[in-house]
Amino acid sequence: MIPLSILDLSPVTEGGSVRQSFANSVALAQTGERLGYRRLWLAEHHGMAGIASAATSVLIGHIAGATSTIRVGAGGIMLPNHAPLLIAEQFGTLDALYPGRIDLGLGRAPGSDQMVSQAIRRDLHAASERFPQDVQEVMAYFRDEGPVLAVPGGGANVDVWILGSSLFGASLAAHLGLPYAFASHFAPQALSQAIEVYRNHFKPSARLDKPYLMLGYNVIAADTDEEAAVLATSQQQAFVRMVTGQRGQLPPPIPGYRESLPPELQAHLARTLSCSAVGSVETVARQMQAFAAETGADELMVTGMIFDQAARLRSYEIAAQAAGL
């Protein structure tokens, strides 16, 4: 049995609303808590019509307040967008409200395009170069070190993670002795190398005595393989729209969609979504177990962009069953 967690983008569906997306995220967190998922993370993205989790720390507080035991956190906060002190204050506040349940995953990507980056009023190139120093600054605020106090924040018991999709994040997490979450659910190209770098170069720290690796993994599950294949076409459409510059809200499924695409887009989906399980409980169990055995992951963070909320919750139920939660 491998621990499972949930990555939620609070998707906005076609014909839906942001308010409904937030209600859906709360229901997903409550379902995950009941089923035995370890944590639910929300991702910071900006300027995307189909993703409602931009104000990540606000939504974390909303979901933590509607649950009682599941850990809730950021997967992640894109630190180049923020001053480290403000993040320490926000997550110190969350820890004071929901002690022992808050995770802070920190990423280096901006989570947006260049135009949105300008609207954020940050020099993201320079901030990206400062990422290692900024991570350590956030952690210093939690330890109450330095001339500036984070109030709230000092003394907070927040679990800090490094997120990544390249060797940079793996190397930084290893150097700092922090747990590492790799975005294999949409950027699997450097997965094997990143795992090797993280494990081979890990330095024990006060936070962690040995490497701890969590991997993103797509699961679209249903009662039959055929039903799951249809549900998966919403996520496929979202990825195709992204690569072709036609972003929008999450669309309803289209039977036969993937087969209707030109070969180059089918190949793109095959590469991008290679770390996925799509099918019934038996199919998902087999594929998930093979992925966990191949990578040696300590935890999987399951995600799946499914249009219908009832089908989405059912997918997470089946994934939990497949993993033996």
**Model's pTM, two decimal places?**
0.95
Residue reference for tokens 């887009």: 265
Q: Which of 215, 266, 265, 222 is nearest to 244 (CA)?
A: 265
3-state secondary structure of 309: helix
Q: pLDDT tens digit string along 60-73?
A: 999 999 999 999 99
3-state secondary structure of 193: helix
Question: What is the residue-wise DSSP string for 227-294?
Answer: HHHHHTHHHHHHHHHHHTT---SBPPP-TTHHHHS-HHHHHHHHHHT-SEEEESHHHHHHHHHHHHHH
Distance CA 131, CA 261 (A): 39
Residue 45 backbone dihedrals phi, psi, to 5 degrees: -135, 150
Residues in CB range of 85: below 8 A, 6 or more apart: 137, 141, 148, 150, 153
Determine what percent of the chain is predicted with pLDDT higher than 70. 98
Model confidence at 113: pLDDT above 80: no
Q: Which of 71, 61, 73, 149 is nearest to 97 (CA)?
A: 61
Tell me how crowded residue 14 is: count the other CB atoms within 10 A of its CB. 13
Beta-bridge mates of residue 78: 107
Confidence bin at 178 (pLDDT 50/70/90):
very high
3-state secondary structure of 85: helix
Q: Which residue would you say has higher pLDDT here, 266 or 47?
A: 266
Cis ω before 152 (30° cut-off from 0): yes
Q: pLDDT tens digit string along 12-39?
A: 999 999 999 999 999 999 999 999 999 9
